[in-house]
Structure 1
Amino acid sequence: MTGTPPRTPPAPAAGAPLKRSFIGDLRMKVIYRILAVAVALVVAAAAVVAGLVWSGSAEQPGEERPGQIAAPSTAAPSSGPASSAATTTAAASPTAASPTPESSPTPDGSAVKAALADPRVPELPADKRLGRLPGKAYSTKSRVRDEKSGVSLIRFGKPWKPYGASPFATRQVLPAARGAGHRAMLVSCPVPTLVQATPKDTALLAARWTLNHHPEGGRISWVASQPTEDGWLLAYKVVYKVKGKTRSSMAAVALTEVSGKKPALVFMTIPDSQRARWRDINTAMASISPI
Structure 2
Amino acid sequence: MRDLYRGLAVVTAVAVVTVTLVMLLPSRPDEVAARPVAAPSTVPTSSVPTASGLTASPSASSEPSVTPSPVDSAAAAAPQATPTPGPSLAPGYTAMEALYADPRVPKLPKKVARLKMTKPGRGVVKDRRTGLVVPRLGRPWKAHQAAPFTSKQVLPLKRGSNQRGMLVTCPLPIEEQKSARDTALLAARWTLNHHPEGGRIRWQVSQPIKGGWLLTYLVRYGKHVSRAAVVVLDGGMAKPGLAFVTVPESQRNRWRDITRVVSGVRVLG
Give TM-score, length-normalised by structure 1: 0.57
Question: Secondary structure of the residue that 2:219 maps to in structure 1?
Answer: strand
- The alignment-based identity, stated in percent, is 47
**Counterpart AA for 2:110:** A
Aligned residue-pair number: 177
Cα distance, 1:139–1:190 mapped onto 2, change above 3 Å: closer
Q: Give the deviation of 1:112 after TM superposition.
A: 0.9
Structure 1: which 5+ runs fail to align?
Answer: 1-107
Give the match for residue 240 of structure 2: 263
Correspondent of 1:121 among 68, 82, 105: 105
Q: Are 2:186 and 1:197 equivalent residues in the alignment? A: no
Give the match for residue 185 of structure 1: 166
In 2: Cα distance, 1:222 partner to 1:213 partner? 17
Give the match for residue 43 of structure 2: none
In 1: Cα distance, 2:99 partner to 2:155 partner? 30
**Would you say the 8 A contact 1:115–1:208 is kept in 2?**
yes
Cα distance, 1:112–1:180 mapped onto 2, change above 3 Å: farther
Give the match for residue 214 of structure 1: 195
Q: Give the deviation of 1:109 after TM superposition.
A: 8.4
Cα distance, 1:172–1:275 mapped onto 2, change above 3 Å: same
Alignment map for 1:60-99 (pairs within 5 Å): none
Cα distance, 1:260–1:225 mapped onto 2, change above 3 Å: same
Q: Give the deviation of 1:177 after TM superposition.
A: 2.4
Give the match for residue 89 of structure 2: none
Q: Give the deviation of 1:260 after TM superposition.
A: 3.9
Q: Give the deviation of 1:138 after TM superposition.
A: 8.0
Correspondent of 2:121 among 129, 140, 147: 140
**Would you say the 8 A contact 1:143–1:154 is kept in 2?**
yes
Give the match for residue 154 of structure 2: 173
**Would you say the 8 A contact 2:120–2:263 is kept in 1?**
no
Question: Secondary structure of the residue that 1:148 maps to in structure 2?
Answer: coil
**Counterpart AA for 2:236:** S
Give the match for residue 239 of structure 1: 220
Question: Secondary structure of the residue that 2:193 maps to in structure 1?
Answer: helix
**Would you say the 8 A contact 1:181–1:215 is kept in 2?**
no
After superposition, give the CA deviation of every residue in 1:205-257 in whole Å (9 maximum; x if it has no partner): 1101100100011010111111111100111100003xxxx000000000001
Q: Are 2:269 and 1:285 equivalent residues in the alignment? A: no
Cα distance, 1:179–1:116 mapped onto 2, change above 3 Å: farther
Q: Give the deviation of 1:122 after TM superposition.
A: 0.5
Q: Are 2:231 and 1:254 equivalent residues in the alignment? A: yes
Q: Give the deviation of 1:127 after TM superposition.
A: 4.9
Q: Give the deviation of 1:285 after TM superposition.
A: 0.5
Q: Give the deviation of 1:156 after TM superposition.
A: 0.9
Q: Give the deviation of 1:126 after TM superposition.
A: 2.1
In 2: Cα distance, 1:281 partner to 1:197 partner? 27
**Would you say the 8 A contact 2:120–2:264 is kept in 1?**
no
Q: Which moved more, 1:264-273 or 1:109-118?
A: 109-118
After superposition, give the CA deviation of every residue in 1:157-187 in whole Å (9 maximum; x if it has no partner): 1100000101100000011124544221000
Question: Secondary structure of the residue that 1:227 maps to in structure 2?
Answer: strand
Question: Secondary structure of the residue that 2:184 maps to in structure 1?
Answer: helix
Give TM-score, length-normalised by structure 2: 0.62
In 1: Cα distance, 2:237 partner to 2:167 partner? 24
In 2: Cα distance, 1:127 partner to 1:260 partner? 32
Structure 2: which 5+ runs fail to align?
Answer: 1-91
**Counterpart AA for 2:143:** P
**Counterpart AA for 1:126:** K
Question: Secondary structure of the residue that 1:237 maps to in structure 2?
Answer: strand
In 1: Cα distance, 2:120 partner to 2:242 partner? 22
**Counterpart AA for 2:240:** P
Give the match for residue 99 of structure 1: none
Question: Secondary structure of the residue that 1:167 maps to in structure 2?
Answer: coil
